[in-house]
Amino acid sequence: MLLLSWIAQGGGHGNVTLDLLNCTEVRSVASPTHPSAQDDVGTTAAKAQTANTQAESFGELGLMEMLCPIQLFYSNGVEWLGAESAREHVHWVSTIWYIS
């Protein structure tokens, strides 16, 4: 299981648990700045989040420039994750692939 927790903008927090044993496929996705990702749901979400958040929150690079998306496929749908660097992305994809 992968437990994700975050502090929501405006207060409160969110929690999501992903069952990695029932994940049928792990897939890398083009970053939001890649031309093939223009209509991608992850790109749309990153654009919306960037518009609602100050760029300084993500350091020198904005969310669009640093996001390395990952898709987890299940029999009933797809879950999206995002790593903050290519190295972190490779680590997560290989770890999830190994576990599932």
| Band of pLDDT at residue 26, cut at 50, 70 and 90 | very high
| Residue 10 to residues 6, 7, 20, 83, Cα–Cα distance (Å) | 12, 9, 30, 23
- Per-residue pLDDT of 6-21, as tens digits, reads 887 788 899 999 999 9
Q: Give the closest residue to 44 by CA, choosing from 72, 74, 71, 64.
A: 64
Inform me whether the pLDDT recorded for 31 exceeds 80. no
pLDDT > 70 in the chain, percent? 62
Q: What is the pLDDT of residue 15?
A: 92
Using the structure block, give the residue that is written with the tokens 């518009």: 51
Tell me how long the chain is: 100
Predicted TM-score (pTM) of this structure? 0.67
Per-residue pLDDT for 59 more than 60?
no
The CA distance from 82 to 70, in Å, is 6
